[in-house]
């Protein structure tokens, strides 16, 4: 039988606020345990939550970016369950009335576009962390993360393959970073994904029973976990078995999923409106203020780059993969006045290769936009050739200064003086009488050999165009 | 000294007739002498006296305010930095609060002296003070009877002149009912008037802190210090605090008093009905008009309250899990076992009962029938008051259907106990200010309270009306036998 | 509606309260009586009535995003039942 995969994703994004959702403790990652857990975060008797304006601002920003309706009135509810990383015994979350209602995101898989629906996005608080290293058979609880604001983004079950799921996730990742509402750091857990996966026979309208996959914290694992789970479910169904609705944990070491708890033992969370927090009411002015802070969104930027700079789709998508990258590109264009296509090539090819090699991103590139501009300027005014430019780039990468400094220091300035080039050509011809004879006898392929020799003799500095022209004349019988 | 009201003590301290340290010592000695009342859970004379001496310095420098140097007993529901704060429970029996509740902080800044932490029903769940892990509190008017609850320790302390004033909290009547049963003036302010930060939560949408004093005037003095906006409490209302003492003497001629017919029906002890009618008569003498109003949904306030309050409590009390502070069971085999034993051993039977009822009301499949239904009823009850206040300025009636009952009389019957709050609970549901003032005695010599209910944020009017009444009556000046 | 022992045990588990068989029986009895009281609510038709969650129904006040809480770990952990290396210790959590 042919099976169709159905996937919906729930993504938890940690919002980039300075302080927590409901307390004025810091949210900085990596602090000493419990040094950023204030009275509210450790749930001392009598403490009360007060909500962070910036978290509401960020949630609305996201909602506007996905074309969603913003609920002017949303309600914080308590989700009740006992767990040591949940100090109050309940999580403050939004249940019936989330801040962001239906929206959508467009993904691109193998060249074709697909719209993925977003059911809702709601505000909630993060839990602390349980550290399972052995404290004499005990677990250690660090509540620094407790109370960090999260925006949980829930998609419709619109994805039909692990590839689509990854494309959606990457698109979301790009978007939240563009919006500067989340740093997207998956290792540190600021961008986390749960996947609801089910399969059904092709043509079937009803959804199959789904499993919820937890703990998938990289794009690669999302793909692998879903693929493993799909295989497992198909195998189970084809063997005459049934999929049970349950939560499964993805184990990246084993590349397998295992059952955590089934629906039979499902928790009864006893949601109810938090009596400590009146409804979150946002007026039009608040939403209008947020709108003003919306940056140009990736899709719009991509289309503009293609149109305005005559870029191909690939270059445009690399150059808009992050806001920093796009800003870098446009700064280079602005400062260097270079041809957009040439500037694009330098960034997508040369720069990308170095970034990948050293595992850096554009924001921490040793070659700043200003340095890149200096390089492109010297390339445009023929001070250096394309080949030399690569050498200059590497020197800049290694911290030897901007293009002019490197060219000066290393004496890489291109030779454009015709007389000087002729002198080199004459010397090369004199050294290669045999080749000259063959060339003149009709072996024109040797022309390239002469060019190479001239360039070598000039240490690559001779202007290649001039070399070609002068050489042709000199080689004539 | 101990017979003086807060207002009198404040004037005397200002005139340096005695020092706060002397005054505090007098009360500390009385607390120690009348330990059998069990009004206090914690006293710490050293700490209190240090505060008193600091107050004396302020007074000497002429920097004292109205409450500087006045000893105030604090209900053990308020977290006070460095003080054992138990909330009447075993589960917090070792909890030394590491911070000050806003109410405590405000009173500290005003220069009040913390006289100790008073006994209370466990987590304020009770109407008789019998659910306290620290034992029952005796009513100074008759030690065989209860002082009411949950602020029973505070009430007994002020009634027995162990403190000139005390703080309390009122979720369903916990200030007004004990005030009535011990012959005191007690005020539950409007929801949002006094910060709940640091006041250990029972039912968050109902809880409100307020003063228990001998007179309405003293309540005004205390409320001046306790009320006000607090950025740490999202339900605190950002409205200016008037000087409640300024309007105490205003004439009440033409005041429209509404008497809800539902408050005078069956179930009300005839002796109490008579006393309330006599009090109404006094108000007529003072020029007030009396008219009948109706609060038709009032009789459903108790069922409604016993869904909402336990539901909120079941969630509010989840933090007591033995992980970060408080009591932890000594013997457990795993995490679940630690949770279950800590909570089973740490909470008393009434608290557990309410946690279970609340859990049930919120659980899957029952939410709509119980919780949502109760929230709808709550609106109807609030609407009743809104309509009644279209024709009157203050509503009056009994505070409690009976006077102080015998210790142990109702402990086996929670439903009978819950019905004690029948006249007080609707006010919490509506979020309105309510007060109880002494209005007479029953045949056994036990005090009877008159309840005054005001419009939202109309505390000044309640205090004014109560004060005028106290200028023409002397019920509030009676001292229980053996304590003068 | 009355509560049976099984339901009582379920509530006790949700609320993390150990109860004995005897307690379950006694809770079933008293809680059922309380439910009878509660169910008096059904006397009123509340169809179409908006639920009231707070006495004061104005919107949530928002806090500015600033860090003002100092590190008070030492003070807070002084009253904790079990700590080590700045962490609160609890019996092993098994996922």
Give the CATH number for residue A461: 1.10.10.410
Q: Please tell me the predicted confidence (pLDDT) of residue A473.
A: 85
Choice between B62 and C56, residue whose per-residue pLDDT is larger: B62
User: Which of A378, A394, A410 is the C-terminal boundary of a domain?
Assistant: A410
Instruction: Kindly determine whether residue C51 and residue B325, on different chains, have CB atoms separated by under 8 Å.
Output: no
CB within 8 A of A284, min separation 6: which ones? none
Tell me: pLDDT of A172 over 90: yes
State the 10-residue block means of pLDDT for chain B, 484 residues long. Answer: 95 96 98 98 98 97 95 98 98 98 98 98 97 98 97 98 98 98 98 98 98 98 98 97 98 97 90 97 98 95 98 98 97 95 97 97 93 97 98 98 95 90 97 98 97 98 98 97 92
Instruction: Kindly determine whether residue C49 and residue B96, on different chains, have CB atoms separated by under 8 Å.
Output: no
Domains located in chain C, CATH noted: 5-43 (1.10.20)
pLDDT digits (tens, 9 = 90+) for A76-126: 999 999 999 999 999 999 999 999 999 999 999 988 999 999 999 999 999
Tell me: pLDDT of A265 over 80: no
Tell me: pLDDT of A468 over 90: no
Tell me: pLDDT of A263 over 70: no
The answer to whether residues A42 and A189 belong to one domain is yes
Q: Mind telling me how many Å the CA of C49 is from chain B's nearest CA? A: 6
Which DSSP symbol is given to B124?
G
CB count in 10 Å sphere of residue B330: 9
The answer to whether residues A268 and A354 belong to one domain is no
In C, minimum Cα distance to A278 occurs at C60
pLDDT digits (tens, 9 = 90+) for A377-392: 988 888 888 888 898 9
**Is B154 buried (19+), middle (13-18) or exposed (0-12) by CB count in 10 A?**
buried
Please say whether the beta carbons of B141 and B117 come within 8 A: no
Choice between A433 and B133, residue whose per-residue pLDDT is larger: B133
pLDDT band at A441 (very low <50, low <70, confident <90, very high): confident
B75 flagged as catalytic: yes
Q: Please tell me the predicted confidence (pLDDT) of residue A266.
A: 61
The answer to whether residues A131 and A279 belong to one domain is yes
- Give the residues across from B186 on adjacent strands: B212, B436
**Residue B195 to residue B428: CA distance in whole angstroms:** 15
Instruction: Kindly determine whether residue A270 and residue B79, on different chains, have CB atoms separated by under 8 Å.
Output: no
Tell me: pLDDT of A40 over 80: yes
Point out the catalytic residue in the list B75, B90, B106, B138.
B75
Q: Please tell me the predicted confidence (pLDDT) of residue A440.
A: 87
The total of structural domains in chain A comes to 3
**Residue A333 to residue A73: CA distance in whole angstroms:** 45
Selection from A423, A316, A332 nearest residue A380 by Cα:
A332
Q: Please tell me the predicted confidence (pLDDT) of residue C40.
A: 95
The answer to whether residues A279 and A330 belong to one domain is no
- Give the residues across from A141 on adjacent strands: A130, C88
pLDDT band at C1 (very low <50, low <70, confident <90, very high): low
The answer to whether residues A422 and A447 belong to one domain is yes
Q: Give the domain extent around A429.
A: 418-475
The answer to whether residues A240 and A348 belong to one domain is no
The answer to whether residues A219 and A175 belong to one domain is yes
Which has the minimum average pLDDT: A50-59, A461-470, B288-297?
A461-470
Specify the residue for token string 């063959």: A438
Q: Where are the domains of chain B?
A: 6-255
Point out the catalytic residue in the list B20, B48, B150, B151.
B150
**Residue B46 to residue B23: CA distance in whole angstroms:** 14
Q: Mind telling me how many Å the CA of C10 is from chain A's nearest CA? A: 10
Q: Mind telling me how many Å the CA of B364 is from chain A's nearest CA? A: 6
CB count in 10 Å sphere of residue A200: 17
The answer to whether residues A96 and A192 belong to one domain is yes
**Residue B361 to residue A24: CA distance in whole angstroms:** 33
Instruction: Kindly determine whether residue B376 and residue C52, on different chains, have CB atoms separated by under 8 Å.
Output: yes
Instruction: For Cα atoms A180, A186, A189, give the angle at the middle one, nearest 5 degrees.
Output: 95
Tell me: pLDDT of A259 over 90: no
Q: Please tell me the predicted confidence (pLDDT) of residue C95.
A: 57
Tell me: pLDDT of A264 over 60: no
**A270 shares contact with chain B (CB less than 8 Å):** yes
Helix (H, G, I), strand (E, B) or coil at B115: strand
pLDDT digits (tens, 9 = 90+) for C12-43: 999 999 999 999 999 999 999 999 999 999 99
User: Which of A394, A410, A426 is the C-terminal boundary of a domain?
Assistant: A410
Q: Mind telling me how many Å the CA of C83 is from chain A's nearest CA? A: 8
ipTM of predicted complex? 0.97
The answer to whether residues A436 and A458 belong to one domain is yes
The answer to whether residues A327 and A383 belong to one domain is yes
In B, minimum Cα distance to A50 occurs at B234
Q: Exposed e or buried b for every residue in B248-264, given b needs 16+ CB within 10 A?
A: beeebeebebbbbebbb
Helix (H) or strand (E) segment spanning residue B340: helix B335-346
Rg (Cα) of chain B, in Å, rounded? 21
- Give the residues across from C21 on adjacent strands: none
Of chain B residues 413-442, which have a CB less than 8 A from chain C? 414-415, 418, 429-432
**Residue A48 to residue B198: CA distance in whole angstroms:** 8
A-contacting chains (≥3 CB pairs under 8 Å): B, C
**B75 shares contact with chain C (CB less than 8 Å):** no
The answer to whether residues A20 and A147 belong to one domain is yes
**Is A447 buried (19+), middle (13-18) or exposed (0-12) by CB count in 10 A?**
middle
Which has the minimum average pLDDT: A127-141, A370-384, A456-470, B400-414?
A456-470
The answer to whether residues A30 and A137 belong to one domain is yes
Sheet bearing A129-135, strands edge to edge: A129-135, A138-142, C87-91, C83-84
Helix (H) or strand (E) segment spanning residue B20: helix B20-33
Point out the catalytic residue in the list B174, B190, B195, B314.
B174
The whole-number average pLDDT for the span A24-29 is: 97
Choice between A169 and A388, residue whose per-residue pLDDT is larger: A169
Q: Which fold has domain B6-255?
A: Amidase signature (AS) enzymes (3.90.1300)
Instruction: Kindly determine whether residue B356 and residue C43, on different chains, have CB atoms separated by under 8 Å.
Output: no
């Amino acid at each position: 039988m042919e099976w169709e995969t159905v996937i919906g994703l729930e993504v938890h994004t940690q919002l980039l606020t300075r302080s927590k959702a409901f307390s004025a403790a810091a949210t900085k990652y990596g602090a000493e345990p419990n040094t950023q857990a204030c009275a509210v975060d450790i749930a001392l008797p009598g403490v009360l939550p007060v909500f962070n304006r910036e978290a509401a601002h960020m949630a609305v920003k996201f909602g506007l970016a996905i074309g969603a309706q913003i609920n002017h009135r949303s309600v914080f509810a308590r989700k009740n369950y006992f767990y040591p990383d949940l100090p109050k015994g309940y999580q403050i979350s939004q249940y019936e009335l989330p801040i962001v209602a239906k929206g959508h995101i467009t993904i691109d898989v193998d060249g074709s576009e697909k719209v993925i629906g977003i059911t809702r996005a709601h505000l909630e608080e993060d839990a602390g962390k349980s550290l399972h290293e052995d404290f004499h058979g005990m677990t250690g609880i660090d509540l620094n993360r407790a109370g960090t604001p999260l925006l949980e983004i829930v998609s419709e079950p619109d994805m039909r393959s692990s590839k689509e799921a990854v494309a959606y996730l990457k698109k979301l990742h790009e978007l939240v970073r563009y919006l500067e509402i989340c740093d997207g750091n998956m290792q540190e857990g600021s961008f986390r994904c749960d996947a609801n996966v089910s399969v059904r026979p092709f043509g079937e309208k009803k959804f199959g029973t789904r499993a919820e996959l937890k703990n998938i914290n990289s794009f690669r694992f999302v793909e692998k976990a879903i693929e493993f789970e799909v295989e497992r479910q198909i195998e189970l169904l084809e063997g005459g078995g049934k999929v049970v609705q349950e939560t499964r944990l993805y184990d990246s070491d084993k590349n397998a999923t295992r059952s955590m708890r089934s629906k039979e033992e499902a928790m009864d969370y006893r949601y109810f409106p938090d009596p400590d927090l009146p409804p979150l009411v946002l007026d039009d002015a608040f939403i209008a203020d947020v709108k003003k802070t919306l940056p140009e969104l990736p899709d719009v930027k991509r289309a503009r780059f293609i149109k305005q700079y005559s870029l191909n789709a690939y270059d445009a998508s690399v150059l808009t993969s992050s806001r920093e990258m796009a800003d870098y590109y446009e700064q280079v264009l602005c400062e260097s006045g270079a041809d957009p296509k040439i500037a694009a090539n330098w960034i997508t090819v040369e720069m990308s290769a170095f970034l990948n090699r050293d595992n850096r991103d554009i924001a921490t590139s040793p070659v700043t936009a200003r340095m890149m501009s200096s390089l492109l300027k010297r390339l445009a005014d023929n001070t250096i050739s394309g080949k030399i430019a690569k050498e200059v780039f590497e020197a800049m990468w290694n911290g030897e200064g901007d293009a002019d400094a490197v060219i000066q220091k290393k004496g890489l300035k291109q030779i454009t003086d015709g007389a000087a080039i002729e002198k080199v050509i004459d010397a090369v011809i004199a050294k290669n009488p045999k080749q000259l004879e063959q060339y003149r006898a009709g072996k024109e392929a040797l022309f390239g050999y002469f060019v190479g020799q001239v360039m070598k003799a000039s240490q690559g500095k001779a202007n290649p165009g001039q070399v070609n022209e002068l050489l042709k004349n000199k080689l004539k019988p | 000294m101990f017979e003086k009201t807060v207002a009198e003590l404040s004037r005397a301290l200002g005139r340096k007739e005695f020092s706060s340290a002397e005054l505090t010592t007098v009360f500390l000695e009385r607390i120690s002498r009348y330990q059998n009342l069990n009004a206090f859970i914690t006293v710490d004379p050293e700490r209190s006296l240090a505060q008193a001496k600091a107050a004396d310095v302020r007074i000497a420098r002429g920097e004292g305010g109205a409450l500087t140097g006045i000893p105030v007993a604090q209900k053990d529901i308020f977290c006070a930095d460095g003080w054992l704060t138990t909330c009447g429970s075993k589960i917090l029996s070792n909890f030394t609060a590491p911070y000050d509740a806003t109410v405590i902080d405000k009173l500290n800044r005003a220069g009040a002296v913390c006289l100790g932490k008073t006994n209370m029903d466990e987590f304020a769940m009770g109407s008789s003070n019998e659910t306290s892990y620290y034992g029952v509190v005796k009513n100074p008017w008759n030690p065989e009877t209860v002082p009411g609850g949950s602020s029973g320790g505070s009430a007994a302390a002020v009634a027995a002149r162990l403190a000139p004033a005390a703080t309390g909290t009122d979720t369903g009547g916990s200030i007004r009912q004990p005030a009535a049963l011990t012959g005191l003036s007690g005020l539950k302010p409007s929801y949002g008037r006094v910060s709940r930060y640091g006041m250990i939560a029972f039912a968050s949408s109902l809880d409100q802190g307020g003063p228990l004093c001998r007179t309405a005037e003293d309540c005004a003095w205390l409320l001046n210090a306790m009320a006000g906006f607090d950025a740490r409490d999202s339900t605190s209302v950002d409205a200016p605090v008037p000087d409640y003492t300024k309007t105490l003497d205003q004439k009440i001629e033409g005041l429209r008093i509404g008497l809800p017919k539902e408050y005078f029906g069956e179930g009300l002890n005839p002796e109490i009905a008579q006393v309330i009618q006599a009090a109404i008569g006094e108000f007529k003498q003072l020029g007030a008009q009396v008219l009948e109003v109706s609060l038709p949904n009032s009789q459903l306030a108790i069922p409604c309250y016993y869904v909402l309050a336990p539901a909120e409590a079941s969630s509010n009390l989840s933090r007591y899990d033995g992980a970060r502070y408080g009591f932890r069971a000594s013997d457990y085999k795993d995490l679940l076992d630690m949770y279950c034993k800590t909570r089973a051993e740490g909470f008393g039977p009434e608290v557990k009962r309410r946690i279970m009822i609340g859990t049930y009301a919120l659980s899957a499949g029952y939410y709509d029938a119980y919780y949502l239904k109760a929230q709808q009823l709550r609106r109807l009850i609030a609407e009743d008051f809104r309509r009644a206040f279209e024709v009157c300025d203050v509503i009056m009636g009994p505070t409690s259907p009976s006077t102080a009952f015998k210790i142990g009389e109702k402990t086996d019957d929670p439903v009978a106990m819950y019905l004690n709050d029948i006249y007080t609970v609707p006010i919490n549901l509506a979020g309105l200010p309510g007060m109880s003032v002494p209005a007479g005695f029953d045949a056994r010599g036990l005090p009877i309270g008159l309840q005054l209910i005001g419009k939202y944020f109309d505390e000044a009017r309640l205090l004014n009306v109560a004060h005028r009444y106290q200028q023409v009556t002397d019920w509030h000046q009676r001292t229980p036998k053996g304590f003068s | 509606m009355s509560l049976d022992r099984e339901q009582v045990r379920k509530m006790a588990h949700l609320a993390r309260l150990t109860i004995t068989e005897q307690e379950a029986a006694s809770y079933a009895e008293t809680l059922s009586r309380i439910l009878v009281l509660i169910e008096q609510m059904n006397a009123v038709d509340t169809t179409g009535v908006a639920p009231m969650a707070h006495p004061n129904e104005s919107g949530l006040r928002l806090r500015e995003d600033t860090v003002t809480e100092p590190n008070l770990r030492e003070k807070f952990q002084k009253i904790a039942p079990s700590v080590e290396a700045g962490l609160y210790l609890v019996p092993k959590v098994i996922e």
